[in-house]
Structure 1
Amino acid sequence: MPTAHDVPPELLERPFTVAEAAALGVSRQVLRGRRFRAPHRGVRVVADLPDSLLLRCRAAALALPPDAAFSHHTGARLRGWPVPGRWSDGVDVVSHRRAPQLEGIRVEHSPWLHGDVQLVEGLRVLVPAWLWLSLAERLPLDDLVVAADAAWRLGDLSREGLRPPVGVAVGRRWVTRARQALDLMEPGVDSPMETRLRLLVLRSGLPRPTVHAPVTVLSGQVLHPDLVFERHLTVVEYEGDHHRTDRSQWQHDLWRYAALEAAGWTVVRFTADDVLRHPQRAVSHLRGVLARRPSHAEMRAVVAQTDVWSTTTRISATEG
Structure 2
Amino acid sequence: MVMELVDPDGILLRRDVISAGYDDKALRRQVVGGALRRIRHGAYCLASLWECSTQERRHLLLVKAVCRQYDEDVAVSHASAVLWWGAPLVSVRPEAVHLTHLDGEAGRHQAGIVHHRGACLVNDVSRVADHWVTSPTRTALDSCLTLPRPSALCVLDWFLHEGLTTTDELRQRAIGMGRWPGSLPLMHLLALTDHRAESPGETLTRLLIHESNLPDPVSQLDITGTDGRWLARADFAWPNKMALLEFDGLRKLTSDLRDGETALDAVVREKRREDRLREAGWLVIRITWDDVVRHPARTIERIRAFLAMADARPVAG
TM-score (ref. length: structure 1): 0.79
Q: Distance in 1 between matches of 2:301 and 2:41?
A: 58
Bigger shift: residues 191-200 or 274-283 = 274-283
Q: Distance in 2 between matches of 1:29 and 1:272?
A: 48
Which of 121, 136, 145 is 2:153 aligned to?
Answer: 145
Q: Distance in 1 between matches of 2:6 and 2:300?
A: 57
Amino acid at match of 2:127: L
Q: Which has the higher strand share?
A: 2
Which of 236, 251, 274 is 2:291 aligned to?
Answer: 274
Q: Distance in 1 between matches of 2:245 and 2:46?
A: 50
**2:92 counterpart of 1:62:** no
Aligned twin of 1:14? 10
Q: Which runs of 5+ in 2 are unaligned?
A: 32-36, 52-57, 255-262
Q: Which runs of 5+ in 1 are unaligned?
A: 304-320
Aligned twin of 2:308? 291
Relative distance call for 1:34 and 1:278 in structure 2 (3 A) is same
Which of 237, 244, 247 is 1:235 aligned to?
Answer: 244
3-state SS of 2:126 partner: strand
Deviations 1:4-56 (A, max 9, x none): x4543654753244554466x44235644331565556555455541612221
Relative distance call for 1:9 and 1:218 in structure 2 (3 A) is farther
Residue-pair matches, total: 293
3-state SS of 1:160 partner: helix
**2:234 counterpart of 1:225:** yes
Amino acid at match of 1:226: D
Q: 1:115 deviation in Å?
A: 5.1
Q: Distance in 2 between matches of 1:47 and 1:212?
A: 44
Aligned twin of 1:171? 179
TM-score (ref. length: structure 2): 0.80
Q: Distance in 1 between matches of 2:14 and 2:63?
A: 17
Which of 92, 96, 114 is 1:85 aligned to?
Answer: 92
3-state SS of 2:237 partner: strand
Does the 8 Å CA contact 1:6/1:26 hold for their aligned counterparts? no
Q: Distance in 1 between matches of 2:116 and 2:288?
A: 38
**2:113 counterpart of 1:105:** yes
Relative distance call for 1:117 and 1:237 in structure 2 (3 A) is same
Q: Distance in 2 between matches of 1:204 and 1:248?
A: 35
Identity %: 23
Amino acid at match of 1:86: R
Aligned twin of 1:317? none
Q: Distance in 1 between matches of 2:226 and 2:265?
A: 22
Aligned twin of 1:257? 274
Q: Which has the larger radius of gyration?
A: 1
Relative distance call for 1:41 and 1:86 in structure 2 (3 A) is closer
3-state SS of 2:221 partner: coil
Relative distance call for 1:69 and 1:292 in structure 2 (3 A) is same
Does the 8 Å CA contact 1:228/1:236 hold for their aligned counterparts? yes
Bigger shift: residues 236-245 or 76-85 = 236-245
Relative distance call for 1:11 and 1:195 in structure 2 (3 A) is closer
Amino acid at match of 2:79: H
3-state SS of 1:200 partner: helix
3-state SS of 1:214 partner: strand
Aligned twin of 1:306? none
Q: Distance in 2 between matches of 1:241 and 1:187?
A: 20
Amino acid at match of 2:284: V
Q: Distance in 1 between matches of 2:158 and 2:121?
A: 22
The CA RMSD over aligned residues, in Å, is: 3.0
Q: 1:60 deviation in Å?
A: 0.3
Deviations 1:45-82 (A, max 9, x none): 45554161222111101222312111111110111112
Does the 8 Å CA contact 1:202/1:208 hold for their aligned counterparts? yes
Amino acid at match of 1:55: L
**2:69 counterpart of 1:73:** no
Aligned twin of 1:316? none
Aligned twin of 2:59? 53
Does the 8 Å CA contact 2:14/2:42 hold for their aligned counterparts? yes
Does the 8 Å CA contact 2:231/2:276 hold for their aligned counterparts? no
